[in-house]
Structure 1
Amino acid sequence: MFNRLKSILIIFASITMLWSCEKDLDLQPEDNRSSAEATFQDPDSYKQFLAKLYAGLAISGQDGPAGNPDLVGLDEGFSQYLRLYWKMQELTTDEAVIGWNDGTIKDLHSQTWTSGNEFIRTMYSRIMYQVAQANEFLRQTTPEKLDARGVDSALRSDIEKFRAEARFLRALSYWHALDLFGKPPFVTEEDPIGAFLPEQIQRPELFSYLEGELLDIESSIVAANQNEYGRADQAAVWVLLAKLYQNSKVYTGTDRSAEVIEYTTKIIESGYSLVDDYQKLFLADNNTNGAQNEIIFPITFDGMNTQAYGGMTFIIHAAVGGDMEPDDFGINGGWAGLRTTSALVNKFLDDNDDPIEDVQDERAMFFTEGQSKEISDISSFNDGYAITKFKNVDTQGNPGSDPTGDFPDTDFPMFRLADVYLMYAEAVIRDGGGSEAKAVSYINELRERAYGDDSANIDESDLTLELIINERARELYWEAHRRTDLIRFNLFSENGVWPFKGGVPQGSTTEAFRDLMPIPASDLGVNTNLTQNTGY
C-alpha cells in the first residue's frame, strides 16, 4: 500500500488544532476520541494511520482532489504541503517565478512578504497539522495503549517501527519549521489534546531536540535501503541528520561539517546508486525505472489514488504553457504559470550570451521556443524560459495512469543520492574532514552522467564553495533546496541579486531578516507565548 499511498479516511479524529490560533484555518476533524478504541480493534488501522501521515505530504484532504480539506481558509489545492513548501523554497529564489496574481503570491519572488501573507501562514499551519497528526499516532501506540488492547507481539514489533517512522515524519516537518520560521510553537505527544497555548521553542533548542529524536530512532527504524519504497528508513534518518548538521551554522552558530561527513558517508555506503539517465528521476515511472535506487525519500503520487491540485499536479501543470505541447508532459493542458530566471539559465553557460540549446549538460532542461530568456513582465508566461524537468510520462513516453491527464504518477524526490554527494563535497571544503579525492569523484560522477563523458570533469583545484553552490543549482533546481542553500551560502537576502528580486526588474538585495519567514500575524494575535521574528 505504500508503493502508491492512497487517500485514507482516518476515523480517529482526536487530531485537533493543538494551538487554537487561526480561526480561519481550524483543522477539520472534530474531537471524536470515543471512536478511537473501536477503530484500533482492527490491526490494519495502525498501518492505515501511518499511511495518512505519509499522505499528508501529498494530498490536502480526506476525499481528493478537493471537497473535504484538512485545513480551511485557503483553496485546497493551494494549501497542499508540497506545493506550499516548494513555493517557499523556489519562488523566493532565482530558480522560479510564477505569472499568476493569486493573493500575495508574487510577494514571494519579490521578497516583499509580510506576516499576513496567506501562503506563508498556510505553510506554517500545514506543518503544525502534520506535527499534530504524528503526535496523535504516538499517543495511540504507547505500550500502555497496546497492552490495554491486547496487541500481540508480532504486531507490536511492526508498530515499534511505525512509531520510528512517525517520529521521522514529525522531525521532517519540524525541520521545515526550524528552517523557515526559526522558533515555532512546540508540541509533542506529551502535551494535552485540544485548545491551549503552546510555548515557543527557540531555534538552537529545536535543533537539539531534532538531533536527539533522529539519533534515538536511528537504530529502531528499518535498516537503510530495506523498507518499502515511499517509506522512511535509516538512510532517510541519516539524510535529515546531515541536513541539520549542514545548516547548523545558520541554525545555532556552530559549524558541524564533521558530522555531515560522518552521515553522508553512511548513506553513500548503504547501497543506493545513481540512475543512469538524469531525466528518469523526474518521470512517471521513477519508482520503477531505476531512479528508485537513487531516491532515498520520495513524496509519492498516483494519478488514480493520490489526487490533489497541489504537489506534482501543480509542479508539472503550472510549468506548461506558451508553445509547449501538454501531450509531451502526459497532461491534458498547461496552467501557464511557472518559469525560471536568466540567473539559473546562466549557471549552464560559459558565456551568458551563448544559446542554451548548445549546452551539452543534459540537466539543462529548458523550453525556449517563443520564450525570452529575460523577464520583462512576470505575468506573461512567454517571459522567462520554461522548465521541462518534471513530466507525467514514463521512459517510453507513455502518459501516467490517470486517463484524464489531470493527476500525475510522478514522485517527488525529496532526498536523493546526488544531493548527498554534493553535501559531502561541501563539507570537505568547509573543513569537515573527509577526502578531497572522494569529493571530486562524486562531483565527476554527476557530471559524467550529465555530459555522457568526462569532458566536464573537475580536479581538486576546482573544488570551491562557488563551484558547489552552482553545481547544486545545476543538479537540484526545482527540487525545493534553493532557498536553504542560498541562506547557508549567505546569498539569499543581502548578497544575492537576480531578476525581480526586491520587486524591481533588474533585481536588488533585500534585508537580512528575510532569511527567516515571519510567524503569521494571526497566530501572534492569539498565542501570547509567541514573539515575532526580527524585522516583521
Structure 2
Amino acid sequence: MTMKFNIKNIISAALLTLSLGGLTSCIGDLDVKNINPQQVSTLDKDALLNKIYANMMLAGQKAPDDGNGGDIDGIDAGTSTMMRELFYLNELPTDECLWIWPNDDTDDLNYNRWGDSQKHPKGLYYRLMFGVTLCNFYLNQTEGDASVAEQRAEVRFMRALNYFYMVDLFANPPMVTTMDDAKPKQATRQEAYDFVESELKNVLGEGDDNSEVLSDKPMAYGRASKAAANLLLARLYLNAEVYTGTPQWEKAKEYANRVINDGNWKLMTDDSNGYTAYQKLFMGDNRSNGAQEEIILPAMEDGANSRSYGGLFFVAGMTTADVINVYPTRTSEAWGGTIPKEQFIQKFIPSGADKLSVGYPDKVAEASGDDRALFFTDGKREPRITDVSNNKNVYLYVKYTNVHSDGSAIHDGTGKWIDTYIPVLRVAEAYLTYAEADARINGGSCTTDGLAKLNALRSRAHAKKFTSVDLQTILDEWSREFGFECRRRMDLVRFGKFGGQSEYLWQYQNGAEEGQAFDAHFNIYPIPASDINANDNLKQNPKY
C-alpha cells in the first residue's frame, strides 16, 4: 500500500479532536455513530493507518494555513504536532539551542522553569495520547481480522512509540488500551515501561502474544518493521536505569546489535554531488538519495502533498535566518528563532576558536574536521550568545535543508514547503547505543568492539578516529551525531547532566547567562493540570 497523507473520511474530523480541557472526557468519542449526515462513518482501515503515522507530523485533517484545523484544541494547530513539540521539550531546555523570539511559554523551556499549565508539555501530552487513542480505535475496530495482522502489529508498535515518549517525558501516564475507559488508571513509570517492553517483544514475535508480528522489511517505506521495534527496545533498555532504577546495558547492546546486523538497513556512507553522506540524511530527497537505507522510521513530509508547520518546515525555518541570502536551503522560510549555544558549538570547534573566516556550513565542517559541524558564520559571528534577541551576530546551525542532492526540483512550486523527512529512528542510533552500553558494562571505557562502532560514525563524518573514550566523550558524540534531533534532554538525563546537578552548566541554564543548577524534578514534565482535574485517578508528578 502506498502511503497517503491527504486523509479524508476516516471518520468525522470532529470526532478526532481532543480538547485540552481534559483527555479523559473524549477517550470514547471515536467509537460513536457519525452525527454528520454529510460524512460517511464506514471505517477506512488504510486511511486510519495513515492517520496513525501522520500523527507524528501533521496537525490535523485540514490544510496547514487553517490555524483551527488541528486535532488538538486549545493550541495553535502548527505548534501542536508531535515532532515540533518533541523539539521544544527535548532541545530548548538543553545545551544545544536557545529560542530567541519573545514568548513567555517558550521562555519557560529555555530557562528550565515550566509548570503544570505550560502549553508545550501540555500540547505534547495530548498529542501523544491522541496517537494512543487512534491506535486503540484501530485495534478495537479490527479485532479478530486476520487479514490485517501485520498492520495491527504496526499499530501496536506505534502505540508503544507514543507510550515510550510518555514514559520518558511524563513518567507516570494514564494507561489506556481500550475504547471504553472513561477515566483510565495511572500507570507507574515501571508499569508503563513494562507495557512498552512487552508490546515491542510481542510484535517481534518474542513475547506472550505472537499472533501479530512486524515484517522483516517495511510493507512500504515509512512504515514500521522489526528493525524499528529492535531499535526502540534498544533505546528503552539504554534508559532503563532512569525509568526503573535497574540498568539493562546488556539488553541495550543486544538489541542495538540486531539493528546493526539487519541486512535491510545500513549507515549512509555515500558522498555525492558535492554533499557528504551526513548532509544527505537531512536533505529534501532523503527518501531516495540513499538516506532511506539508514532512516528506519521517518516522520514524512512533502511540499506538494503533506504540508505542515510542525515538521522539518518548522526546524529548517527556525534555524536558518539570513543564511538563505547566500546559502541555498530551497525554502523561502528563514525565521531564525532558534540559535545554537556555545557549549554545542564547542563540541566541534574548540574554545578559543572564536571566529572562523569561512562561512558556509560545508566549509565550516571542513575546517573543523567533522562533516557534522554544519554551522554558518561569516567571520563576524561569535559562538557565544551575547544578545538573546539577536540572530545576526551568532553562529547558526544549518543541518536541515530542502535542497535535493541530485539537483532535482523541490515538490512545492511556490518554494515554501519542505520535502525533507525527519528521522525518528535511524541506524546511527544503534551504533552509539552499542558503544555506550559497551562502555558502561566495562567500567566506563569501550572495548575494541565498542570503539569500532563509534569510529564507524566518525569515519562517515570524516572526523579523526578515537583511540580511547570515556563516558563524557560518548555523551559529546551523541550531541555531535544527533544535534537538534529531538533527543538531547533524554541523553543529558541519562548521564546525570540535566536537573539536580551543577557539574555541567550551559548558557542561560535556569535563566542565568553563565548557567546555574535547577532542581531534579525538572527531569520529567508535569501531567497537565487540566487532565488531573478531569480524572481523579491521576496524581501529579513530584514537586509540580
Indicate the residue corresponding to 1:151 in structure 2: none
Q: CA distance change for structure 1 residues 212 and 474 in 2, over 3 Å: closer, same or farther? A: same
Please name the residue that 1:244 is paired with. 236
Aligned to 2:188: 202
- Out of 251, 268, 274, the residue aligned to residue 267 of structure 2 is 274
Runs of 4+ in structure 1 off by over 4 angstroms are: 1-4, 12-18, 23-32, 38-42, 432-435
Q: Secondary structure at the residue paired with 1:296?
A: strand
Give TM-score, length-normalised by structure 2. Answer: 0.88
Map 1:301-380 onto structure 2 (within 5 A).
301-325=301-325, 328-353=328-353, 355=355, 357=364, 358-369=367-378, 371-380=381-390
1:177 is the counterpart of 2:177: no
Residue identity opposite 2:374 in structure 1: M
CA distance in 1, matches of 2:409, 2:317: 14
Structure 2 residue aligned with 1:457: 465
Q: CA deviation at 1:399?
A: 5.0
In structure 2, distance between residues paired with 1:66 and 1:31? 25
Change (3 A) 1:372 1:322: farther
- State the distance in 1 between where 2:26 and 2:101 align: 27
Q: How does 1:406-421 map to 2 (within 5 A)?
A: 406-421=416-431
Please list, as runs of the form range in 1=range in 2, the aligned pairs for 1:7-86 lying within 5 A after superposition. Answer: 7-11=7-11, 22=21, 33-35=32-34, 45-67=44-66, 68-86=69-87
1:188 to 173, 177, 202: 177
**Could you tell me how far apart the structure 1 residues matched to 2:475 and 2:6 are?**
37
Contact 1:100 1:337 (C-alpha < 8 Å) held by counterparts: yes
Q: Supply the distance in 2 between the matched residues of 1:25 and 1:407 (Cα, whole angstroms).
A: 35
Give the Å deviation of 1:437.
2.2
User: Unpaired runs of 5+ in structure 2?
Assistant: 206-211, 270-276, 357-363
CA distance in 2, matches of 1:185, 1:116: 17
Partner of 1:116: 117
Contact 1:79–1:126 (CA<8 Å) still a contact in 2?
yes
Measure, in 2, the Cα distance between the counterparts of 1:431 and 1:522.
42
Aligned equivalents of 2:346, 2:135: Cα separation in 1: 42
Question: CA separation of 1:341/1:162 partners in 2, compared to 1, >3 Å: closer, same or farther?
Answer: same
1:186-223 CA-to-partner distances (Å, cap 9, x unmatched) read 1112x506xx2221110011111111111111134333
Q: Select which of 478, 481, 484 maps to 2:487.
A: 481
For residues 256-311 of structure 1, what are the alpha-carbon distances to aligned partners after superposition, in whole Å with 9 as ceiling and x for unaligned?
01101111111111122111211010001001000111111111111111111111
Match of 2:274 in 1: none
Classify the secondary structure of the residue corresponding to 1:403.
coil
What's the % identity of the aligned pairs? 34
Residue of structure 2 equivalent to 1:492: 498
Cα distance in 2, alignment partners of residues 47 and 432 from structure 1 = 47
Distance 1:40 1:437, change over 3 A: farther
Shift of 1:106: 1.3
Partner residue in 2 for 1:503: 511
Partners of 1:508 and 1:350 lie apart in 2 by 22
Deviation of 1:400 (Å): 2.1
Instruction: Say whether the 8 Å CA contact 1:16–1:132 is kept in structure 2.
Output: no
Structure 1: runs of 5 or more not aligned: 147-155
3-state DSSP of counterpart to 2:431: helix
Distance 1:55 1:264 in 2: 26
Secondary structure in structure 1 of the residue aligned to 2:328: helix
CA offsets 1:104-142 (integer angstroms, 9 cap, x no match): 111101101111111111111111111111110000001
- Could you say what secondary structure the match of 1:502 adopts? helix
Cα distance in 2 for residues equivalent to 1:8 and 1:252: 41
Is contact 1:9-1:62 (8 Å) kept? Answer: no
Matching residue of 2:528: 520
| Displacement after TM superposition at 1:88 (Å) | 0.8
Distance 1:354 1:361, change over 3 A: farther
Matches within 5 A, 1:413-452: 413-431=423-441, 436-451=447-462
TM superposition score normalised by structure 1: 0.90
Residue 469 (1) aligns with residue 475 (2)? yes
Distance 1:332 1:508 in 2: 38
Q: Given the superposition, is the C-alpha separation of residues 66 and 286 from structure 1 closer, same or farther in structure 2, using an over 3 Å criterion?
A: same
Q: Which residue of 1 aligns with 2:150?
A: 161
Q: CA RMSD in A?
A: 2.6
In 2, are the aligned partners of 1:299 and 1:412 still within 8 Å (CA)? Answer: yes
Aligned AA for 2:243?
Answer: Y
Task: State whether structure 2 residue 387 is matched by structure 1 residue 401.
Answer: no
